[in-house]
Amino acid sequence: MIDGVSENPLKHGAVVVEDGRIVSVETDGHLPAGLDVVDLGDATLLPGLIDAHVHLVWNASKEPHAVVAQESRYLTVLRAAANCMLQLRAGVTAVRDAGSTDAVAIAVAKATELGLIPGPRIVAAGHAICMTGGHSSSLGREADGPDGVRHAARSEIKAGLTSSN
């Protein structure tokens, strides 16, 4: 086991899991009594990865915003759901969606939370807020100056975006 701190790998490492979550990492064969043990041999385990900047509504093309602009919102929602699965397959268990067309990522986050679709934990920003014509203007609200940004942020909160989304 490599803990990222010790100079050499630790011998006889064990990961203790309860209800699908890692609760402890043990070394030198010291395991709490009464546990079911699964020997994984030479397997490599990694903690779930976190992608701190995604746009689940986009594809990997050169101009993803143009693709979204030309398709139905239904297709955009389906792409976001498919991107959730791709994240999981890559080992990503949590993402921060930094803005999505029609705030789709908020609904997709709720769908993953309810188990309706497989996906990582999603912290969704809703609509991106940017200056008029600015970066990510295709994803949301344009706002200029402190009052405009304040109004846009309050509009997002009114629409249901909260810190728990």
Q: What pLDDT sits at residue 160?
A: 67
Measured between alpha carbons, how far is residue 108 from residues 83, 126, 130, 139 in Å? 10, 11, 22, 15
Return the pLDDT at 28: 67
Per-residue pLDDT of the chain (165 residues; tens, 9 = 90+): 787 788 988 777 888 888 888 888 887 667 778 888 888 888 888 888 999 999 999 998 999 988 988 999 999 999 999 999 999 999 999 999 998 888 899 999 999 999 999 999 999 988 888 899 888 777 788 999 999 999 998 988 887 665 444
- Where are any strands of DSSP class E within 3-48? 14-18, 21-26
Here the tokens at position 97 are 């969606």
Residue indicated by tokens 């919102």: 73
pLDDT of residue 101: 87
> What order of strands is seen across the sheet that includes strand 121-124?
49-54, 92-97, 121-124
Give the chain's domains with CATH numbers.
Answer: 1-45 (no CATH), 49-158 (3.30.110.90)
